[in-house]
C-alpha cells in the first residue's frame, strides 16, 4: 500500500511514525498547503492528514485512494459526500486527547480566574519582596466550589470536564450542540439558560453549521459579567470580533482560548490587541498535544489502517 502522510509534523517531531512503515510504502511531508495536496496524493492509496483539504479538487486525480485517515478526531477538512461517492472510506481517531484537553480547560480557567499572570509578575518584579505584609491579593478571585459550570458539547471531553468540575464542587449543566445528546448524568438546558446561569462556560463541540458563530455578540450579552469563557474546541464556534467587544466592554470577565477563527491567528484578529493577560489568554491550539495524546494518535491510526487491510471498518465516519 502506498501511504502518504501530508502533515507528519502535526504529531510532533518527537513522536515517531516509523510503525506505519510496517503497513506499506510511506511518503511523509512535514506540512502540506492546500495548493500542494493534489499533487502529493496523486499516487496514494492511503492518505493520512490533519488539516489539508481533501475534496474533489484535491482528490479528483488520485484514482487509487481507498482510505483517508485523520491524525485527529475532527474531519471537517474532508468532503465526506464526495468520498462516499468515490467509495473512499474516512477514519478518525477518537478519545485520544480527552485527558489532555480536559486538563488544559482547567489550566486556562485558573490562569484567568486566579489572575496568575498578575501575581507571578508581582513576585518576579520585586514588588512582593519590597512589601511588609506576608500576602498580597489586590486583584480578587473566587472559588469554583458552589459555582455553575456550563458545557457546550457533552461528548467524551465534555463529560471528563464535567467530572472534574463536580470534584471542584460545581453544579454542571450542558447544552447539546447536536440536539442528540444521550447524556443523562447532567442537567441538559437550552442555550439561553446555559448562557445566563454559567459562571464558567467551556466549549467542547465539533464545528458544524449549527455551531459556527454559536457564541456571537448576542450570546455573550446573555452571559454573566463575572463569567469566564473557555474554548478548546473549534475557533469559529466563537465569533472573535464579538468576543473582543465583550472583553473590552466588560460584558464578561475573561476568556481562555486554545483556538481562534483562523489558525494560525492573523495579526488582523482584534483579539491580538488585548494585551491584558488577566482578561485573555490564548494558546496555539495545543490543548490536545500532550506527549501521551500524540503517541496515541499514531498508534490509533496504525490500528485503523491495519483494520482496513483486514476488510474491517474501524472508526470509519462515512
- What residues are labeled active site? 234, 263, 285
Whole-angstrom CA distances from 223 to 114, 168, 294, 313 are 20, 21, 35, 43
| Cβ atoms 150, 175 nearer than 8 A | yes
Per DSSP bridges, beta strands 228-231 and 171-175 are unpaired
Strand order in the sheet with 200-203: 187-188, 171-175, 148-152, 200-203, 228-231, 254-257, 280-282
Helices (H), the chain: 34-41, 56-59, 80-86, 98-113, 116-124, 127-130, 156-167, 191-197, 217-221, 240-248, 291-309
Q: How far apart are CA 227 and CA 229, in angstroms?
A: 7
The phi, psi pair for 104, rounded to 5°, reads -70, -30
Length of the chain: 318
Whole-angstrom CA distances from 128 to 102, 159, 299 are 33, 40, 48
Residue 181: CB atoms within 10 Å: 16
| Cβ atoms 174, 152 nearer than 8 A | yes
How buried is residue 232: exposed, middle or buried, by Cβ count under 10 Å (0-12/13-18/19+)? buried
With H, G, I as helix, E, B as strand and everything else as coil, classify residue 89.
Answer: strand
**Cell numbers representing residue 82 in the block:** 464526495
Amino acid at each position: 500500500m502506498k501511504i502518504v502522510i501530508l502533515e507528519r509534523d502535526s504529531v510532533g517531531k518527537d513522536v515517531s511514525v516509523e510503525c506505519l512503515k510496517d503497513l506499506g510504502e510511506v511518503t511523509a511531508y512535514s506540512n502540506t498547503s492546500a495548493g500542494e495536496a493534489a499533487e502529493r496524493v496523486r499516487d496514494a492509496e492511503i492518505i493520512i492528514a490533519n488539516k489539508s483539504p481533501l475534496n474533489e479538487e484535491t482528490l479528483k486525480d488520485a484514482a487509487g485512494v481507498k482510505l483517508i485517515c485523520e491524525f485527529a478526531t475532527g474531519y471537517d477538512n474532508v468532503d465526506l459526500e464526495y468520498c462516499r461517492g468515490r467509495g473512499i472510506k474516512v477514519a478518525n481517531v477518537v478519545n485520544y486527547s480527552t485527558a489532555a484537553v480536559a486538563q488544559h480547560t482547567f489550566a486556562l480557567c485558573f490562569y484567568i480566574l486566579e489572575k496568575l499572570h498578575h501575581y507571578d509578575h508581582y513576585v518576579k518584579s520585586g514588588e512582593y519582596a519590597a512589601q511588609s505584609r506576608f500576602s498580597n491579593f489586590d486583584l480578587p478571585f473566587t472559588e469554583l466550589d458552589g459555582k455553575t459550570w456550563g458545557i457546550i458539547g457533552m461528548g467524551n471531553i465534555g463529560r471528563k470536564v464535567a467530572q472534574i468540575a463536580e470534584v471542584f464542587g460545581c453544579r454542571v449543566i450542558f447544552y447539546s450542540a447536536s440536539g442528540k445528546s444521550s447524556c443523562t448524568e447532567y442537567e441538559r438546558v437550552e442555550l439561553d439558560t446555559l448562557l445566563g446561569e454559567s459562571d464558567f462556560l467551556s466549549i467542547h463541540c465539533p464545528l458544524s453549521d449549527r455551531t459556527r458563530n454559536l457564541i456571537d455578540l448576542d450570546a455573550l450579552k446573555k452571559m454573566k459579567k463575572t463569567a469566564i469563557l473557555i474554548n478548546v474546541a473549534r475557533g469559529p464556534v466563537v465569533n472573535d470580533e464579538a468576543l473582543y467587544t465583550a472583553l473590552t466592554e466588560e460584558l464578561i470577565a475573561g476568556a481562555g482560548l486554545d483556538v481562534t477563527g483562523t489558525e494560525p491567528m492573523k495579526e488582523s484578529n482584534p483579539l491580538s490587541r488585548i494585551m491584558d493577560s488577566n482578561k485573555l489568554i490564548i494558546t496555539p491550539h495545543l490543548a490536545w498535544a500532550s506527549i501521551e495524546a500524540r503517541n496515541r494518535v499514531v498508534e490509533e491510526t496504525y490500528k485503523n489502517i491495519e483494520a482496513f487491510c483486514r476488510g474491517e471498518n474501524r472508526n470509519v465516519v462515512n
